[in-house]
Structure 1
Amino acid sequence: MAFLPALIAARDPGCAAWLDAALASPPLPGTPAFMRVFAAAGRRLRDAPPPGGDEVPALMALGIATPALWSGPRLLRAALLAAAVEAAGGEAPAGLTSAFRTSDTEERATILQALMLLPDPARFTALAADACRSSVQPVFEAIAGDNGFPAAHLAEPVFNQMVLKAVFTGMPLARIVGLAERTTPALRRMAGDFRSERRAAGRVVPADLDLLLDAPSLDGIPTP
């Protein structure tokens, strides 16, 4: 993906040269060589400005929901990821899963946020579903929040559980990209059951449930 290296070059020509050298023979995801260069990328471009101007709609067109939140290191790591995944071909899902499991929290967040930029992103639904079960909040929020991948590729049961987990953990539902389009009768019933359980136990009902339950019902089924 040429656009990401161009963003790097616009911020730091020296870093662009480093990236070119790293991509001359892209290390495959999950290999020690990849993990070394992926870690090193996090120490570069730390003072670079986030995407702005024409860069924002261009990144949004590629599937990045909130480009203004992307740091320089995240842009650099995404460029490395895209090249490594392309080079890996059919081995990419296994390799990326290995990289994810051996990464630190910030690296994992970058992998999840960059899924939409990878060749044939639907191949990585198993990795995304696993991230939805993470007990590490920044990792969970990296897949659930400000990320177009779940709405585009996750199956309904996985997506619905992700939404309910966001409520449980306090992540604002407004951060879930495509929530309105993916809200189904099943999701509304699950949210209604959760609200009823909280009320019956005398516990506070998260205000974010209003996004799912206080809008006019699309299925004719009243919510509890």
Structure 2
Amino acid sequence: MTGEDARRALADLVARVHDQPDRIAVLFPAAARRVSRGAGPSGDPDGVLGPTLEDLVRLELLRACAAATAPGPFADEVSDLYHHGDSGERRAVLRGLGLLDPAAAPLARELMADALRTNDTRLVAAAVGGPAADLLDLHAWRQAVLKCLFTGVPLAGVRGVPERVDAELVRMCADYAEERERAGRPVPDDVHLVLGHSPDDEHTEA
């Protein structure tokens, strides 16, 4: 499919979702096949370093649905798309959580927590890379950073690094690095994005 064909296909899907928002349940899974798939601007076809083309397509469908649906029903749709979707669909939903109304923050936290319980680096990266990650309390966010270190998700893509780094996270990451060294295992270079940050304790979040 040429670029022009893909743009027309996307425009058609967006228009259909805008006119009939409940159609997203059918069109969302088929978006990659109907429009485009592959590496996005990051060049990573797995979607760890940034959204893939299919992620971007599905995000457009989510935006169309959000624009045409009341906040409550849209949140229900997002929940259904995540829980009934495959890993690629879930990744796109996670990247689109910022479209939810603030009242749906508990849902956003629930879906991010679910993704962070997995070892799927694509889901972990999507959960921590978007604006919805700001909804994680500091304890959950620290744990998410450690999860990224354990699974190999680059910390450069974690929202809040280094702005939210505090003394406790520095300590946790230092302990992690020391444990790796004692075990004779390599320490990810990314850990220095935290260890190289010297937060002022008096500004540490509770």
Cα distance, 1:92–1:21 mapped onto 2, change above 3 Å: closer
Q: How does 1:128-207 map to 2 (within 5 A)?
A: 128-145=112-129, 147-150=130-133, 152-207=134-189
Question: For structure 2, which runs of at least 5 residues remain unmatched after alignment?
Answer: 42-48
Q: Does the 8 A contact of 2:71 with 2:100 survive in 1? A: no
Matched, 1:122 2:105: yes
The corresponding residue for 1:64 is none
TM-score (norm 2): 0.75
The corresponding residue for 1:16 is 11
Identity %: 31
Q: Which moved more, 1:41-50 or 1:73-82?
A: 41-50
Matched, 1:210 2:192: yes
Shift of 1:180: 0.8
Determine the C-alpha separation between the residues in 2 that align with 1:217 and 1:209: 15
Opposite residue 24 of structure 2, the aligned amino acid is: F
Determine the C-alpha separation between the residues in 2 that align with 1:10 and 1:186: 51
- Give the one of 91, 100, 106 matched to 2:82: 100
Cα distance, 1:93–1:219 mapped onto 2, change above 3 Å: same
Opposite residue 20 of structure 2, the aligned amino acid is: S
Shift of 1:194: 1.7
Determine the C-alpha separation between the residues in 1 that align with 2:124 and 2:38: 26
Matched, 1:112 2:112: no
Opposite residue 14 of structure 2, the aligned amino acid is: L
Opposite residue 176 of structure 2, the aligned amino acid is: F
Cα distance, 1:127–1:88 mapped onto 2, change above 3 Å: farther
Q: Secondary structure at the match of 2:185?
A: coil
Shift of 1:134: 1.7
Determine the C-alpha separation between the residues in 1 that align with 2:143 and 2:50: 25
Q: Does the 8 A contact of 1:15 with 1:45 survive in 2? A: yes
Cα distance, 1:70–1:9 mapped onto 2, change above 3 Å: farther
Shift of 1:71: 4.8
Cα distance, 1:174–1:12 mapped onto 2, change above 3 Å: closer
- What count of residue pairs does the alignment treat as equivalent? 191
Determine the C-alpha separation between the residues in 2 that align with 1:128 and 1:69: 17
Shift of 1:212: 1.3
Shift of 1:142: 1.6
